[in-house]
A = this chain, B = another copy of it.
Amino acid sequence: MAEYDLLTIGNAIVDIIARTDDAFLKDAGIEKGAMTLIDAKRAEDLYARMGPATEMSGGSAGNTVAGLVSLGGRGAYFGKVSSDQLGGIFTHDIQALGIHYETAPLPAEPPTARSMILVTPDGERSMNTYLGACVELSTDDIDEAVVAASRVTYFEGYLWDPPRAKDAILQAARIAHAAGREVAMTLSDPFCVHRYRAEFLDLLRSRTVDIVFANEAEALALYETEILKEALHHLGQDTARLAVVTRGSDGCVVVEGGTRTAHPATFVPHVVDTTGAGDLFAAGFLRGYTQGLDHAQSARLGAIAAGHIISQIGPRPQTPLADLPEAKAILG
A residues engaging B (CB < 8 A)? 19, 47-48, 50-57, 66, 84-86, 89, 92-94, 96-97, 111, 313-314, 316, 318-319
Show 15 residue pairs from A and B whose CB-CB distance is below 8 angstroms, ordered by the A residue.
A19-B319, A48-B92, A50-B96, A52-B66, A52-B92, A52-B97, A53-B92, A53-B93, A53-B96, A54-B314, A54-B318, A55-B55, A55-B89, A85-B85, A313-B318
Q: How far is the CB of A61 from chain B (nearest CB, A)?
A: 16
Q: Is the CB of A56 within 8 A of B57?
A: no
Q: Which residue of B lies closest to A111 (CB)?
A: B85
Contacts of A318 in B (CB 8 A): 19, 54, 313
Contacts of A48 in B (CB 8 A): 92
Beyond the given A50-B96, A54-B318, please list 4 additional residue pairs across the A-B interface where CB-CB is below 8 A.
A47-B92, A52-B316, A53-B92, A54-B56
In the complex this chain forms, how many copies of it are found?
2
Q: How far is the CA of A327 from the CA of B89 in the complex (A)?
A: 36
Q: Which of B56, B86, B96, B314 contacts A85 (CB 8 A)?
A: B86
Q: How far is the CA of A47 from the CA of B85 in the complex (A)?
A: 13
Q: Which of B19, B55, B66 contacts A56 (CB 8 A)?
A: B55
Contacts of A66 in B (CB 8 A): 52
Q: How far is the CA of A51 from the CA of B319 in the complex (A)?
A: 10
A52-B96 contact in complex given A313-B318, A318-B313, C-beta closer than 8 Å: yes
Q: Is the CB of A51 within 8 A of B96?
A: yes
Contacts of A85 in B (CB 8 A): 84-86, 111
Q: How far is the CA of A57 from the CA of B55 in the complex (A)?
A: 9
Q: How far is the CA of A56 from the CA of B94 in the complex (A)?
A: 18
Contacts of A89 in B (CB 8 A): 53, 55
Contacts of A111 in B (CB 8 A): 85
Q: How far is the CB of A166 from chain B (nearest CB, A)?
A: 29
Q: How far is the CB of A75 from chain B (nearest CB, A)?
A: 13
Q: Which residue of B lies closest to A88 (CB)?
A: B47
Question: A-B pairs with the 5 shortest C-beta distances?
Answer: A55-B55, A52-B93, A85-B85, A52-B96, A54-B56
Contacts of A314 in B (CB 8 A): 54
Contacts of A319 in B (CB 8 A): 19
Q: How far is the CB of A97 from chain B (nearest CB, A)?
A: 6
Q: How far is the CB of A114 from chain B (nearest CB, A)?
A: 9
Contacts of A316 in B (CB 8 A): 52
Q: How far is the CA of A93 from the CA of B19 in the complex (A)?
A: 13
Q: How far is the CB of A19 from chain B (nearest CB, A)?
A: 6
Q: How far is the CB of A48 from chain B (nearest CB, A)?
A: 8
Q: How far is the CA of A111 from the CA of B48 in the complex (A)?
A: 22
A52-B47 contact in complex given A84-B85, A85-B111, C-beta closer than 8 Å: no
Q: How far is the CB of A119 from chain B (nearest CB, A)?
A: 10
Q: How far is the CA of A84 from the CA of B89 in the complex (A)?
A: 13
Q: Which residue of B lies closest to A316 (CB)?
A: B52
Q: How far is the CA of A94 from the CA of B51 in the complex (A)?
A: 9
Q: Which residue of B lies closest to A92 (CB)?
A: B47
